[in-house]
Amino acid sequence: MSSSAIEMSTSSLGPMMKRRGLVHWLRSYALLVEWEARSLRLLLPLAIVAQILLGAGLAIGFGFLMGEIPTIEAQFLATGVTVISMITVGLVLVPQIVSQRKYAGIYDYMWSLPVPRTSSVAASLTVNSFIALPGMVLALLVASWRFDLSLQISPLVVPAALLTLVSAASVGFALAHAISNPLLTNLVTNVLLFVILLYSPINFPPDRLPGWLASLHHGLPFQHAANVMRAGLTEGLATHAGESFAILAGWAAAAWIITAWVVGRRP
Amino acid sequence: MSVARQSASQHASQPHSLAGAGTLSVRELSKRYPGGLLANDGITLEIRSGEVFGLLGPNGAGKTTLVKQIIGLLRPTSGQISLDGYDLVRDPAQARQLVTYLPQSSLPIDSLTLRQVVGLVGRIRGGDRAMVHRRATEMIEALELVPWADSLGIKLSGGVKRLVGFVMASVWPASLVILDEPTNDVDPLRRRLLWQQIRRLGRQGVSVLLVTHNVLEAEQSVDRLAVIDEGRIIAQGTPSSLKAPDRRCLRLRVNLIPGVEKPEIPQICRHHTLVGRRLHLLIDETDAGDAIQWARASIEHGIAEEYALGAATLEDVYIRLIGRDDALEMMVDRRGDA
């Protein structure tokens, strides 16, 4: 290729205009979703398999732990494992991916691109949330089969699953960006996983917890994520679903505000 | 007028040319980190349209801090940065529109091919798909990267990754391209091609801020340069103007035998530096004969292995300015030819 060809095409580049507004945000988001999806291409199959194993494994494993259980408990368990498989992506996998990228200095480059940083975060959340979907569906199917349940799936399951995924991934993203030390991020996510699995009213009703812990969980997102999913998957099991949607949306919004502040700041 | 600026003004008559843009002005810029470290201390410099400007300095001198403030990743403690009349301190989003950046850190290219990532970056920067593809193809061919064009980033060597990063920064440039150590790990052949492309950016009216440790290569390729140390600009000018005080000087390089003590330095030496086993002596050109005699005697006495006498280079100026032997040590280490 001759140098003149390069000169010619460069001279026809347009001057850089100020590009802002919703159209710019959406265009940036679409391109960054493509970048994120391609970036996770090597990790994606493994992450999806791990999610499927986690979801199905939880359903089968809890079955061993609890033996034969009444239908109500089985419904709690079946819907609970789908929530756990979604929450672990947001609160464990997302912070670890973000931490690793921070450690490698990749955000130095990403934040230098002429895109709104919130579009970059949204693209990352979109692709990472997608990882959780196959595991969630399979966990539900395996649990239904294992406990011989017939679920009452309603359209409400779509906003419930989306809100659960987005709020968990947003909190995970905010967590990873707010904590500067990657080792500390890993520690926090491991503790969170422990709390989610054993001490959160996801697989069981909140009234089994000590009063103070039940009160605490009323303000945390975990039981509400389980409640909105139950509202979409069962009949009569979820109570005060509207309140749970509102609290979960509040957590997603708060996490978004923190994330937008963290990624937008110039130290 | 430099070649770069002549070409830039020629391009000005073409439609949509970038020439005329790219004037960066940094005034009294200081950056103090929360821990108290003053990384930049009253830096003032100007890069003109189409100029290739080198920023030299040892590790920790404040180069990356300066660059990160220009690109809007860090907020200055005080001072001004403007590019094409835009106040970049007040409007960092505009900085990202006007500046493209090759950082020293990793790039997010492991799971993408060269063509894919360059295509994405070009479109993110506002180029249309066909034009970006065309320009990417031209650059890939010019840098002889065709064999790796469709390989995943994870399979590329460090040097090829740096070249991919350069293409990412240059495929759809705006006013200013900042390149932080672009030649690291790049083989000598492609390094030459890379310098040609950097010069070409300048000729097209795009300003280039080049952060490098490679003083000798920078000497051949930059229009002007600044030397930064401990957060301050300690010298600024063309390579020739910086070398002016040493114009009538020669450099004697003597390779010492491993394990021997540093020999006594002759009176004719104006300045000397020991880097590993390499002893550099700056001498007046009228003392060349005496210097050669001294070097030969050192070989005969089993102190040195070989010597070479040549013109003083920008490297000598750099060492003199920094005033520390480790400045060159760091550069030599990075070049891998110590």
Beta strands (DSSP E) in A62-119 are: none
| Beta-carbon separation of A10 and B110 below 8 A | no
Give which of B333, B338, B319 is closest to B56, Cα–Cα. B319
Tokens of A237: 């099991």
- Residue A109: which of B18, B94, B103 has the nearest Cβ? B103
Q: Is the CB of residue A99 less than 8 Å from the CB of residue A81? A: no
Of the residues B18, B32, B179, the best mutation for testing chain A's interface (the one with the most A CB atoms within 10 Å of its CB) is: B18
Q: A8 pLDDT band (50/70/90 cuts)?
A: very low
pLDDT digits (tens, 9 = 90+) for B203-236: 989 999 999 878 888 888 899 999 999 999 999 9
pLDDT tens-digit series, residues B24-75: 999 999 999 998 999 999 999 999 999 999 999 988 899 999 999 999 999 9
CB under 8 Å to B35, separation ≥6 — which residues? Answer: none
Averaged pLDDT, A148-160: 87
Query: Cβ–Cβ of A106/B142 closer than 8 Å?
Result: no
d(CA B52, CA B200): 10
The answer regarding whether domain B3-237 maps to CATH 3.40.50.300 reads yes
B residues 232-291 closer than 8 Å to A (CB): none
Two structure tokens written together for B162: 């740096």
Give Cα A236 to chain centroid, integer Å.
Answer: 26
Distance from CA of B76 to the nearest CA of A (A): 9
Please give the distance of CA B22 from its chain centroid, rounded to a whole number.
Answer: 18
What ipTM was estimated for this complex?
Answer: 0.81
Q: What is the DSSP letter of B21?
A: B
- Per-residue burial over B227-237, b if 16 or more Cβ lie within 10 Å, else e, is bbbebbbebbe
Buried/exposed code over B101-131 (b: 16+ C-beta within 10 A; e: otherwise): bbbbebbbbbbbbbbbbbbbbbbbbbbeeeb
Choose between A146 and A116: higher pLDDT. Answer: A116
Q: Is A111 on the interface with B (CB under 8 A)?
A: yes
Among the listed ranges A9-13, A152-156, A173-177, A196-200, which one has the minimum average pLDDT value?
A: A9-13
Residues of A in contact with B75 (CB under 8 A): 266-267
Which amino acid would we find at residue B83?
L
Tell whether B331 is within 8 A of chain A (Cβ). Answer: no
Contact B176, B99 (CB under 8 A): yes
In whole angstroms, what is the distance from residue A39 CA to residue B160 CA?
A: 18
Q: Domain B243-335, what fold?
A: Alpha-Beta Plaits (3.30.70)
Can you read off the two tokens belonging to residue A147? Answer: 């406990």
Cβ-nearest to A31 among B92, B124, B141: B124
Is residue B86 over pLDDT 90?
A: yes
Burial degree of A113 (CB within 10 A; 0-12, 13-18, 19+): buried
Does the distance separating the beta carbons of A7 and B125 come in below 8 Å?
no
Does the distance separating the beta carbons of B139 and A39 come in below 8 Å? no
Quick check: A23 and A119 in contact, CB under 8 A? no
Distances (CA, A) of B320 to B39, B140, B240, B295, B314: 22, 39, 15, 22, 10
CB contact under 8 A, A114 and B126: yes
The whole-number pLDDT of residue A148 equals: 82
Q: Which of B68, B123, B204 sits opposite A10 (nearest CB)?
A: B204
